[in-house]
Amino acid sequence: MSTQEIQQLIDFISQSGLDEVNIETTDLKISVKRYGIGAPAVAPAATPGAVAPMPAAPAPVAPAPQSTAPATPAPTPAAASNYVTIKSPMIGTFYRSSNPETPSFVEVGDNVSEGKVVCIIEAMKLFNEIESEVSGRIVKVLVENATPVEYDQPLFLVEPI
């Protein structure tokens, strides 16, 4: 799949209102997810394949989400523009606490300072503490506990102090 075909797929998804599209053929596996307002992440994982029939398939589903999508995210860009995103520095499994019996490192509304541990990401049986790079207040947790995360995936929104 060429870079131009990938860009066309991303453009199609951003215009359709879909938040996630997975395409898998014998030669290609691609997953495109939108976080927040149209910041798609693309993960190609194989050799070239045909893309033209694939975007046509999700098109009938697009009208329903499209009608609700503009109304919901419209206030979000203005509000989220002053937030800082804490992103995953690695691929792994996201955990909000050190074990199931202990409380989460941070909750929505908690104040964090630079260097405070906000979560753990397990990668290859190693538990890596992820520290805040900014001082502020946790506004939103963007990932569910014990779910896989990708490199550079947004984890938390922080309102800087």
Residue 74 per-residue DSSP state: S
Mean pLDDT, consecutive 10-residue stretches, the chain (161 aa), reads 71 70 74 59 50 48 45 47 92 94 95 96 93 95 95 95 86
The pLDDT assigned to 32 comes to: 72
How far does Cα 157 stand from its chain's mean position? 12
Taking phi over 0 as left and psi of -120 to 50 as alpha, with beta for the rest, 9 belongs to alpha
Q: Which pLDDT belongs to residue 6?
A: 72
**Between the CA of residue 17 and those of 30, 72, 74, 116, 140, what are the distances in Å?**
18, 11, 13, 36, 22
Alpha helices for the chain (secondary structure H): 3-16, 53-56, 63-68, 75-80
Which pLDDT belongs to residue 36?
A: 56
C-alpha span between 49 and 28 (Å, rounded): 6
For the chain, domains (ranges, CATH) are 3-72 (no CATH), 82-160 (2.40.50.100)
User: Contact 155/142 with Cβ under 8 angstroms?
Assistant: yes
The per-residue pLDDT for 34 is 66
Give the separation between CA 159 and CA 152, rounded to whole angstroms: 19
65 DSSP 8-state letter: H
